């Protein structure tokens, strides 16, 4: 396992409580540019599949929601960083529960 995947698993565990045994698949997605006012940052998006319904959120997160993929669009505009992350994940076929994880820890997790 390379360093990027290990970092992703560490961030995932810290943010959701999921352990390696809870991960069905993990896929490195594209790098997206997330705007921050006049600046932007690059972030790698990882798509993680799990069959766990309950998450144990870390201290930087306050809420999560499982959302069916066709309904993700209603979150558009909710946060500046969300649109490019959702676009990066949009081409992935739904399997079971899927987490869209931004490794930079933007303070929110969208579960689909």
Q: Show pLDDT as tens, one digit a residue, over the chain (112 residues).
A: 588 778 888 888 998 999 999 988 888 877 888 777 888 888 888 888 888 888 898 888 788 777 776 776 676 656 666 777 777 766 665 554 555 555 444 444 545 4
Q: What is the pLDDT of residue 104?
A: 45
Q: What is the pLDDT of residue 76?
A: 61
Q: What is the pLDDT of residue 69?
A: 67
Is the CB of residue 111 less than 8 Å from the CB of residue 98? yes
Computed over its alpha carbons, how large is the radius of gyration of the chain? 13
Is the CB of residue 12 less than 8 Å from the CB of residue 45? no
Q: What is the pLDDT of residue 37?
A: 80
Enter the pTM of the model. Answer: 0.65
């Amino acid at each position: 396992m390379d360093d990027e995947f290990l970092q992703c698993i560490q961030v995932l565990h810290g943010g959701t409580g999921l352990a390696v045994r809870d991960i069905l698949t993990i896929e490195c997605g594209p790098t997206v540019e997330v705007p921050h006012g006049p600046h932007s940052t690059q972030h790698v998006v990882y798509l993680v599949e799990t069959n766990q319904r309950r998450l144990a959120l870390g201290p930087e997160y306050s809420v999560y929601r499982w959302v069916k993929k066709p309904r993700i669009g209603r979150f558009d505009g909710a946060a500046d960083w969300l649109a490019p992350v959702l676009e990066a994940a949009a081409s992935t076929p739904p399997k079971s529960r899927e987490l869209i994880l931004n490794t930079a820890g933007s303070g929110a997790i969208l579960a689909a």
